[in-house]
Structure 1
Amino acid sequence: MLRSLLSILGVYRIYEKWLWHQVKNNPTPEHIGIILDGNRRWALNRSLDPNIGHYYGADKTEEMLRWCLDLGVRSVTLYVFSTENFNRPREEVEELMQLFEERLQKIMEDDDIHKHKVRIKAIGRLNLLPKRLQKIIREIEKATKDYDKHFLNFAIAYGGRAEIIDAAKKIAAKVL
């Protein structure tokens, strides 16, 4: 609401420039981790379909990634989809998987990824993802595997509980 009011008054652009100046003139973090959360809630609070919230959030994430690149942040990790999110309604999960496919394809074709040598890596239980999405992930990782200037990590089908379970299974396999 505040942003809308400031935009109407023509002040928001000035505020954005002031913020940019504040961030640009201070030490830049080497790595930023971001949990992408609240898109569905944002949409529902505006009586919109949750998928609209996911697409809006994806647009904002792209904008934020450009800021990170412009500021010289070397590494960004996006926590985009936890293993617990598979418990959402089937239609919503399918829509999210489609969104991931679209955006990863877009990233792979983005000239800035190659110009700025951004290595892309996905972490998580990738075997739980649809085969098409797994294929796109393999392709984008392969296309950027030799890049080492910037790093963009996607934690997808990832979660603390899943990580603990996987670690326990590995330990049990070694003991047995």
Structure 2
Amino acid sequence: MSWIREGELNLLEKISANILMAGPMPKHVAFIMDGNRRFALKKKLERHDGHMQGFNKLAETLRWCKHLNIPEVTVYAFSIENFKRSKEEVDGLLDLARQKFERLLEEQENLEKHGVCIRVLGDLNMLPLDLQEVIAKAVVMTKNHNKCFLNVCFAYTSRYEITNAVREMAWGVEQGLIKASDVSEALLSECLYSSNSPNPDLLIRTSGEVRLSDFLLWQTSHSCLVFQSVLWPEYSFWNLCEAIVQYQLNHKSIQKARELHRDEQALQQLEADCACIAEHLQHQGNGKPADAQRRQEALQHYTVAREERVQDFLQALKHKRDTFFTNLCSETVLT
């Protein structure tokens, strides 16, 4: 079944969508698509069939998001913790992913028509090589599309992502691209798998569970979190509308919290820069305090140099990540 569903909303859905869109709308929605196994048990189906129904619901939900002008969606497709499930279920999930990404490659014209960019966030090295290759093809094929974005978190947990971001910064220091003093909260954000995306405005978890299960812990610190009891394969347009209303009711407080956090980050960076300059000037002046003008000039010079180092490092990191996907595609061609 296709990832990209065509079709209009019915009349009542259109009216409701227009009313919703008169208020503030989330630009990025994240889903923890929970309840596939319980749905299968409830309907007396095989687990695999429950996961298949879950994928079908994702395709339908993406259609709703398109009509609601939500340009970016992130989904928790496969946690690193899922590898601990039975071999039969893990193999079934990986086979399903393989089938769906292969189908995605067949939809190139449709993806281009709608401008869909597919990103896969996680450690692909944990996956079978053939699955890595088909995922890489989908990512590279759609990387220049910019109308809407689907981020698929696969072989992912947030703690692993944060740990990996720390490793990337350590690599930058080892390579001489950045200094240890350049490491900051803002830089760590830029080293996450999700660095190309704004943080989610709204995170939705289905099935009645009220925990994040190690999903986007860093990115959702100032997001609206909505927990709904419906099982994911039974998710409806009206469930999505309900979650958006919750976002709209909390929009002002969310925006205020984000602004305060941005101000706090800027202040922390300024204080860190000032501390570096003070230490540098103290060494240069044999312990004598520098005048205000000299401190200001040194601060401006240091800030520009730090920003240039950070941008060069981020470009090198992007190149490293892009090369990983490109090389996987090249290996497929060679074989």
Indicate the residue corresponding to 2:39 in structure 1: 42
The size of the alignment, in residue pairs, is 160
Counterpart of 2:70 (choices 66, 70, 73) is 73
SS in 2 for 1:142: helix
SS in 1 for 2:66: helix
Counterpart of 1:29 (choices 26, 30, 44) is 26
C-alpha root-mean-square deviation of aligned residues, in Å? 2.1
Indicate the residue corresponding to 2:98 in structure 1: 101
Indicate the residue corresponding to 1:112 in structure 2: 110
Q: Distance in 2 between matches of 1:100 and 1:147?
A: 22
Runs of at least 5 residues in structure 1 that lack an aligned partner in the other structure: 1-15
Mean CA deviation greater in 16-25 or 135-144: 16-25
Q: Distance in 1 between matches of 2:26 and 2:72?
A: 9
Runs of at least 5 residues in structure 2 that lack an aligned partner in the other structure: 1-9, 175-335
Structure 2 residue 151 is matched with structure 1 residue 153: yes
Counterpart of 1:142 (choices 140, 143, 150) is 140
Indicate the residue corresponding to 1:166 in structure 2: 164
CA shift for structure 1 position 20: 4.2
CA shift for structure 1 position 41: 1.5
After TM superposition, the score normalised by the length of structure 2 is: 0.44
CA shift for structure 1 position 154: 0.5
Q: Distance in 2 between matches of 1:114 and 1:106?
A: 15
Structure 2 residue 51 is matched with structure 1 residue 54: yes
**AA paired with 2:140?**
K
Q: Distance in 2 between matches of 1:45 and 1:166?
A: 38
What CA deviation, in whole Å up to 9, does each residue of 1:18-41 have, x standing for no partner?
Answer: 344212332242111111211011
What CA deviation, in whole Å up to 9, does each residue of 1:61-113 have, x standing for no partner?
Answer: 11111222233221111111111111010111111011111112222322431
Q: Distance in 1 between matches of 2:63 and 2:124?
A: 26
SS in 2 for 1:25: helix
Q: Distance in 1 between matches of 2:147 and 2:168?
A: 33
**AA paired with 2:38?**
R
Larger Rg: 2
**AA paired with 1:144?**
T
